A = this chain, B = another copy of it.
Amino acid sequence: MTSTNSLTADDLGSAAQRDRRKRILDATIALATRGGFDAVQMRAVAEQADVALGTLYRYFPSKIHLLVSALGREFEKAEAAGRGKPIPGDTPHERVMYVLGRTTRGLQGEPHLTEALTRAFMFADASVQNEIHHVGMLMTSMLTRAMQPGKTDLTEEDVAIAKVIGDVWLAALVGWVTGRTTSEDVTRQMDVAVRLLLR
C-alpha cells in the first residue's frame, strides 16, 4: 500500500527512477560530508544530482525527509557490512560497547556528515515517521544483537534496554555534533549508561 510521503526504494518501478533516487541521495551525502547540514541546500542537491528542483521535491518532500532517508541508507549499508561477522567480547557490556565504539568512531570520522544527519533526525516531525521508525529499528536490532548474539527470542526487557541505550547514544551524539561535548565524553557517557543498564 506504500502510503509513505517520500518515494521509498521499493515503489519505484523504472530503473531511471531508481537511478535518480540514488543520484539524489549520493549528492546529499556528498554535500553533507563536505559542509554539514547547512551545505545541503536543495538547489545544490538538485543541481549536483542533475534533476530539477521540482523533481527533487517529488522524491523527497522536504530537506528533512531527504536527510533522514540518506541516514537510513547509510545505516543499512553499515549494518550490512557488519552482518554475519561475530561481535567480539565476552559480556553483553563488552559487545555493546564494541559496537557502539565502532559506530561512533565511524561517525566521528565524518563530522560534517554526522552533524547533518543527526540534526535532521532530531528535527524530524511526525511526517517523517516511517523513515525515523526504519532507522530506529536498525539501531535497536544492532544493539540487541550485540546484547544476545545468537539468541533469537528477545524478551521485552531486552528490547526496552536496547531502546534506552539507543536514546542515550542519540543524546550523547547530539551533544557531540553540536559541539557541546568531546568524543571522549561520548565514550564515557555510553560506558556509564551501558554498565548501569547491562548489569
Contacts and interface: CB of A to CB of B under 8 A. Distances in A.
A129 interface: yes
Nearest to A128: B178
A197 interface: yes
Interface string A161-173: 1011011101110
B192 A132 contact: no
A170 B167 CA distance: 8
A80 interface: no
A196 interface: yes
Given A168-B168, A171-B171, A126 B179 contact: yes
Given A122-B122, A174-B122, A197-B197, A192 B129 contact: no
Interface in A165-194: 166-168, 170-172, 174, 178-180, 189, 192-193
B178 A167 contact: no
B180 A129 contact: yes
A32 to B, nearest CB: 15
Interface in A111-152: 119, 122-126, 129, 132-133
A44 interface: no
A122 B120 CA distance: 10
6 contacts: A129-B180, A161-B196, A164-B196, A167-B189, A167-B193, A171-B171
